[in-house]
Amino acid sequence: MANASLVAGATRYASSAFKEASNDPLISSKPYWLFNARVSLAGEKDGWEVALWGRNLTRERYVVSGVNLASLGIVNRIYNAPRTYGVELSFRY
């Protein structure tokens, strides 16, 4: 029985950016880095795979979008997903 393993990673850099059309500094994000990773083990002939994965491994927090209605007393910022991780089990037939 032959097994294969795979280690994969991804990184992404984003510079500061405004997140809405009027370029409001309250609804902008600072520069950030994101790091993701995945480790898997698979039975090449049997069609199974077990994988561990993680996203946003450094717990980076940045603004994704928002609304500034300060004249009405409303400023809303929506942030990215926190660090997430999981296990995948798959079988191909």
What letter does residue 72 receive in the DSSP assignment? G
Residue 1 reports pLDDT greater than 70? no
Domain boundaries of the chain, sorted by first residue: 3-91
pTM (2 decimals)?
Answer: 0.78
- pLDDT tens-digit map of 35-88: 999 999 998 788 899 999 999 999 999 999 998 888 888 889 999 999 999 999
